[in-house]
Amino acid sequence: MTSYETYVFLLCLIVFLMLTALSVICITIITRLSVRLIQAGAEDSNIIEEERKKQEQKNKKHIGLCHGIGCAFSILICIAFVAVFGISIYNQATENRFYEDVPTYRVVLSGSMAKAHENNTYLKENNITDRLQVFDLAAFYKVTSPEELKLYDIIVYEIKGEMICHRIVDIRINESGYEFILQGDAVKAPDKSPVHFDQIRAVYRGERIPHVGSFVMFLRSPAGWLCMFLVVVGMIASPIVDSKIARERRARLSSVSVNKQEVAIND
Protein backbone atom coordinates (compact mmCIF):
# COMPACT_ATOMS: atom_id res chain seq x y z
CA MET A 1 0.00 0.00 0.00
CA THR A 2 1.06 3.56 -0.64
CA SER A 3 1.51 5.99 2.24
CA TYR A 4 -1.83 7.59 1.40
CA GLU A 5 -3.62 4.23 1.37
CA THR A 6 -2.01 3.39 4.71
CA TYR A 7 -3.18 6.72 6.14
CA VAL A 8 -6.74 6.14 4.86
CA PHE A 9 -6.75 2.61 6.27
CA LEU A 10 -5.54 3.72 9.71
CA LEU A 11 -8.06 6.56 9.75
CA CYS A 12 -10.88 4.17 8.85
CA LEU A 13 -9.64 1.70 11.46
CA ILE A 14 -9.74 4.37 14.18
CA VAL A 15 -13.25 5.42 13.10
CA PHE A 16 -14.34 1.78 13.05
CA LEU A 17 -13.02 1.15 16.57
CA MET A 18 -14.73 4.29 17.84
CA LEU A 19 -18.03 3.37 16.16
CA THR A 20 -17.79 -0.20 17.45
CA ALA A 21 -17.16 0.99 21.01
CA LEU A 22 -20.02 3.50 20.77
CA SER A 23 -22.35 0.84 19.32
CA VAL A 24 -21.49 -1.63 22.07
CA ILE A 25 -22.14 1.02 24.74
CA CYS A 26 -25.47 2.02 23.16
CA ILE A 27 -26.61 -1.59 22.71
CA THR A 28 -25.67 -2.40 26.30
CA ILE A 29 -27.54 0.62 27.69
CA ILE A 30 -30.63 -0.04 25.56
CA THR A 31 -30.65 -3.74 26.46
CA ARG A 32 -30.35 -3.06 30.18
CA LEU A 33 -33.07 -0.41 30.01
CA SER A 34 -35.39 -2.79 28.16
CA VAL A 35 -34.74 -5.54 30.71
CA ARG A 36 -35.47 -3.20 33.62
CA LEU A 37 -38.71 -2.02 32.02
CA ILE A 38 -39.79 -5.63 31.53
CA GLN A 39 -38.87 -6.60 35.08
CA ALA A 40 -40.70 -3.55 36.48
CA GLY A 41 -43.90 -4.55 34.66
CA ALA A 42 -44.01 -1.61 32.25
CA GLU A 43 -44.30 -4.01 29.31
CA ASP A 44 -46.86 -6.39 30.86
CA SER A 45 -49.76 -5.33 28.64
CA ASN A 46 -47.65 -5.66 25.48
CA ILE A 47 -46.29 -9.04 26.56
CA ILE A 48 -49.75 -10.41 27.30
CA GLU A 49 -51.15 -9.05 24.02
CA GLU A 50 -48.30 -10.59 22.03
CA GLU A 51 -48.84 -13.94 23.76
CA ARG A 52 -52.56 -13.78 22.97
CA LYS A 53 -51.84 -13.10 19.29
CA LYS A 54 -49.34 -15.95 19.19
CA GLN A 55 -51.93 -18.35 20.56
CA GLU A 56 -54.52 -17.17 18.02
CA GLN A 57 -52.11 -17.48 15.12
CA LYS A 58 -50.47 -20.68 16.26
CA ASN A 59 -52.49 -22.86 13.90
CA LYS A 60 -52.35 -20.53 10.90
CA LYS A 61 -49.99 -22.00 8.31
CA HIS A 62 -49.44 -18.74 6.42
CA ILE A 63 -47.73 -17.22 9.46
CA GLY A 64 -45.10 -19.92 9.43
CA LEU A 65 -44.79 -19.61 5.67
CA CYS A 66 -44.23 -15.84 5.85
CA HIS A 67 -41.68 -16.34 8.61
CA GLY A 68 -39.89 -18.96 6.50
CA ILE A 69 -39.88 -16.69 3.45
CA GLY A 70 -38.49 -13.83 5.56
CA CYS A 71 -35.72 -16.04 6.94
CA ALA A 72 -34.88 -17.37 3.47
CA PHE A 73 -34.73 -13.83 2.07
CA SER A 74 -32.41 -12.71 4.88
CA ILE A 75 -30.16 -15.73 4.29
CA LEU A 76 -30.01 -15.00 0.55
CA ILE A 77 -29.07 -11.37 1.22
CA CYS A 78 -26.29 -12.48 3.58
CA ILE A 79 -25.03 -15.05 1.05
CA ALA A 80 -25.03 -12.43 -1.72
CA PHE A 81 -23.18 -9.94 0.49
CA VAL A 82 -20.58 -12.54 1.50
CA ALA A 83 -20.22 -13.68 -2.15
CA VAL A 84 -19.52 -10.14 -3.37
CA PHE A 85 -17.08 -9.63 -0.50
CA GLY A 86 -15.34 -12.91 -1.40
CA ILE A 87 -15.16 -11.87 -5.06
CA SER A 88 -13.64 -8.54 -4.04
CA ILE A 89 -10.94 -10.28 -1.97
CA TYR A 90 -10.21 -12.75 -4.78
CA ASN A 91 -10.14 -9.89 -7.27
CA GLN A 92 -7.69 -7.89 -5.18
CA ALA A 93 -5.42 -10.89 -4.59
CA THR A 94 -5.31 -12.00 -8.24
CA GLU A 95 -5.83 -8.80 -10.26
CA ASN A 96 -2.33 -8.98 -11.78
CA ARG A 97 -2.17 -12.78 -12.02
CA PHE A 98 -3.64 -14.51 -15.03
CA TYR A 99 -4.27 -18.20 -15.64
CA GLU A 100 -5.07 -20.22 -18.75
CA ASP A 101 -8.09 -22.16 -17.48
CA VAL A 102 -9.15 -20.13 -14.44
CA PRO A 103 -10.46 -16.60 -15.14
CA THR A 104 -9.05 -13.54 -13.46
CA TYR A 105 -11.81 -11.00 -12.83
CA ARG A 106 -10.96 -7.34 -13.25
CA VAL A 107 -13.18 -4.33 -12.65
CA VAL A 108 -13.45 -2.07 -15.70
CA LEU A 109 -12.61 1.44 -14.52
CA SER A 110 -12.24 3.21 -17.87
CA GLY A 111 -14.89 4.14 -20.40
CA SER A 112 -12.56 3.61 -23.38
CA MET A 113 -14.40 0.38 -24.30
CA ALA A 114 -17.92 1.52 -23.37
CA LYS A 115 -19.19 2.78 -26.74
CA ALA A 116 -18.31 2.91 -30.40
CA HIS A 117 -16.70 6.10 -31.67
CA GLU A 118 -18.13 7.28 -34.99
CA ASN A 119 -14.66 7.19 -36.59
CA ASN A 120 -14.22 3.50 -35.80
CA THR A 121 -16.22 2.19 -38.75
CA TYR A 122 -14.64 -1.28 -38.49
CA LEU A 123 -16.83 -1.93 -35.42
CA LYS A 124 -20.06 -1.53 -37.37
CA GLU A 125 -18.70 -3.19 -40.52
CA ASN A 126 -17.76 -6.33 -38.56
CA ASN A 127 -20.78 -6.20 -36.23
CA ILE A 128 -18.57 -5.99 -33.12
CA THR A 129 -20.68 -5.40 -30.03
CA ASP A 130 -18.70 -7.00 -27.17
CA ARG A 131 -18.06 -3.74 -25.33
CA LEU A 132 -17.13 -3.29 -21.68
CA GLN A 133 -18.93 -0.73 -19.53
CA VAL A 134 -17.48 1.05 -16.52
CA PHE A 135 -17.80 -1.13 -13.38
CA ASP A 136 -18.35 -4.33 -15.34
CA LEU A 137 -16.61 -7.30 -13.74
CA ALA A 138 -14.90 -8.95 -16.72
CA ALA A 139 -13.11 -12.30 -16.92
CA PHE A 140 -9.68 -12.49 -18.56
CA TYR A 141 -7.56 -15.53 -19.46
CA LYS A 142 -3.80 -15.80 -19.82
CA VAL A 143 -2.37 -15.88 -23.34
CA THR A 144 0.54 -18.27 -23.90
CA SER A 145 1.33 -17.61 -27.55
CA PRO A 146 0.68 -14.80 -30.06
CA GLU A 147 -1.09 -17.27 -32.36
CA GLU A 148 -3.95 -17.44 -29.87
CA LEU A 149 -4.82 -13.81 -30.55
CA LYS A 150 -6.85 -12.64 -33.49
CA LEU A 151 -8.02 -9.35 -34.92
CA TYR A 152 -10.56 -7.46 -32.77
CA ASP A 153 -9.85 -9.45 -29.59
CA ILE A 154 -10.01 -7.42 -26.38
CA ILE A 155 -6.80 -7.87 -24.41
CA VAL A 156 -5.09 -6.57 -21.28
CA TYR A 157 -1.55 -5.34 -21.77
CA GLU A 158 0.97 -3.77 -19.42
CA ILE A 159 2.85 -0.55 -20.02
CA LYS A 160 4.95 1.19 -17.36
CA GLY A 161 3.32 -0.89 -14.63
CA GLU A 162 -0.22 0.03 -15.71
CA MET A 163 -2.76 -2.47 -17.04
CA ILE A 164 -4.75 -1.26 -20.07
CA CYS A 165 -7.71 -2.99 -21.69
CA HIS A 166 -8.10 -2.26 -25.44
CA ARG A 167 -9.05 -4.01 -28.70
CA ILE A 168 -6.62 -5.34 -31.30
CA VAL A 169 -7.24 -3.39 -34.52
CA ASP A 170 -4.18 -4.57 -36.46
CA ILE A 171 -1.60 -7.36 -36.23
CA ARG A 172 1.82 -6.98 -37.82
CA ILE A 173 4.67 -9.48 -38.15
CA ASN A 174 8.19 -8.20 -38.67
CA GLU A 175 11.77 -9.11 -37.77
CA SER A 176 11.19 -8.41 -34.09
CA GLY A 177 8.12 -10.66 -34.01
CA TYR A 178 4.46 -9.85 -33.52
CA GLU A 179 3.29 -6.27 -33.04
CA PHE A 180 -0.28 -5.49 -32.04
CA ILE A 181 -2.01 -2.17 -32.68
CA LEU A 182 -4.49 -1.49 -29.88
CA GLN A 183 -7.36 0.98 -29.66
CA GLY A 184 -10.29 1.69 -27.36
CA ASP A 185 -13.72 1.48 -29.01
CA ALA A 186 -14.62 4.94 -27.67
CA VAL A 187 -11.29 6.45 -28.80
CA LYS A 188 -10.93 7.83 -32.33
CA ALA A 189 -7.24 6.93 -32.75
CA PRO A 190 -5.09 3.86 -31.96
CA ASP A 191 -2.67 3.80 -29.03
CA LYS A 192 0.56 5.70 -29.66
CA SER A 193 2.90 2.71 -29.67
CA PRO A 194 2.52 -0.86 -30.92
CA VAL A 195 2.35 -3.54 -28.25
CA HIS A 196 4.65 -6.56 -28.29
CA PHE A 197 3.53 -9.99 -27.17
CA ASP A 198 5.61 -9.91 -23.99
CA GLN A 199 3.46 -6.95 -22.83
CA ILE A 200 0.17 -8.80 -23.31
CA ARG A 201 -1.18 -10.39 -20.13
CA ALA A 202 -4.64 -11.77 -20.95
CA VAL A 203 -7.56 -11.90 -23.36
CA TYR A 204 -11.26 -11.27 -22.82
CA ARG A 205 -13.59 -14.07 -23.96
CA GLY A 206 -16.98 -12.45 -23.52
CA GLU A 207 -17.62 -13.30 -19.85
CA ARG A 208 -18.67 -10.36 -17.69
CA ILE A 209 -21.01 -9.42 -14.84
CA PRO A 210 -22.52 -5.95 -15.41
CA HIS A 211 -22.40 -3.24 -12.71
CA VAL A 212 -21.06 -5.52 -9.94
CA GLY A 213 -17.67 -3.82 -10.06
CA SER A 214 -18.86 -0.80 -8.07
CA PHE A 215 -19.65 -3.05 -5.08
CA VAL A 216 -16.39 -4.95 -5.54
CA MET A 217 -14.35 -1.74 -5.55
CA PHE A 218 -16.13 -0.48 -2.44
CA LEU A 219 -15.53 -3.73 -0.57
CA ARG A 220 -11.89 -3.64 -1.65
CA SER A 221 -11.46 -0.25 0.00
CA PRO A 222 -10.67 0.24 3.71
CA ALA A 223 -14.16 1.66 4.20
CA GLY A 224 -15.63 -1.49 2.63
CA TRP A 225 -13.61 -3.77 4.91
CA LEU A 226 -14.71 -1.82 7.95
CA CYS A 227 -18.32 -1.86 6.75
CA MET A 228 -18.11 -5.64 6.47
CA PHE A 229 -16.72 -5.85 10.02
CA LEU A 230 -19.60 -3.71 11.29
CA VAL A 231 -22.11 -5.99 9.55
CA VAL A 232 -20.49 -9.02 11.19
CA VAL A 233 -20.60 -7.31 14.61
CA GLY A 234 -24.27 -6.49 14.05
CA MET A 235 -25.05 -10.07 13.00
CA ILE A 236 -23.38 -11.38 16.15
CA ALA A 237 -24.84 -8.83 18.56
CA SER A 238 -28.44 -8.84 17.30
CA PRO A 239 -29.30 -12.49 18.14
CA ILE A 240 -27.67 -12.16 21.56
CA VAL A 241 -29.70 -9.07 22.44
CA ASP A 242 -32.92 -10.51 21.01
CA SER A 243 -32.40 -13.75 22.94
CA LYS A 244 -31.82 -11.93 26.22
CA ILE A 245 -34.90 -9.71 25.84
CA ALA A 246 -37.05 -12.68 24.73
CA ARG A 247 -35.90 -14.64 27.81
CA GLU A 248 -36.84 -11.76 30.10
CA ARG A 249 -40.25 -11.41 28.42
CA ARG A 250 -40.96 -15.12 28.88
CA ALA A 251 -39.91 -14.92 32.51
CA ARG A 252 -42.13 -11.90 33.05
CA LEU A 253 -45.06 -13.63 31.31
CA SER A 254 -44.69 -16.61 33.63
CA SER A 255 -44.57 -14.29 36.64
CA VAL A 256 -47.70 -12.42 35.49
CA SER A 257 -49.55 -15.72 34.90
CA VAL A 258 -48.64 -17.01 38.38
CA ASN A 259 -49.78 -13.76 39.99
CA LYS A 260 -53.11 -13.96 38.15
CA GLN A 261 -53.63 -17.52 39.34
CA GLU A 262 -52.88 -16.54 42.95
CA VAL A 263 -55.37 -13.66 42.75
CA ALA A 264 -58.03 -16.02 41.31
CA ILE A 265 -57.45 -18.54 44.13
CA ASN A 266 -57.66 -15.86 46.83
CA ASP A 267 -60.92 -14.57 45.35
Domain positions in the chain: 3-94+221-266, 104-211
pTM: 0.64
Inter-residue contact 169 to 188 (CB < 8 Å)? no
Per-residue pLDDT of the chain (267 residues; tens, 9 = 90+): 567 667 766 777 787 778 778 878 888 888 888 888 888 888 778 877 777 777 766 655 554 555 567 567 767 777 776 776 676 766 666 666 787 788 888 889 899 999 999 999 999 999 999 999 999 999 999 998 999 999 999 999 998 888 999 999 999 998 888 999 999 999 999 998 999 999 999 999 999 999 888 888 887 777 777 777 777 777 777 788 888 888 888 888 887 765 555 545 555
Class (C level, CATH) for 104-211: mainly beta
Inter-residue contact 253 to 47 (CB < 8 Å)? yes
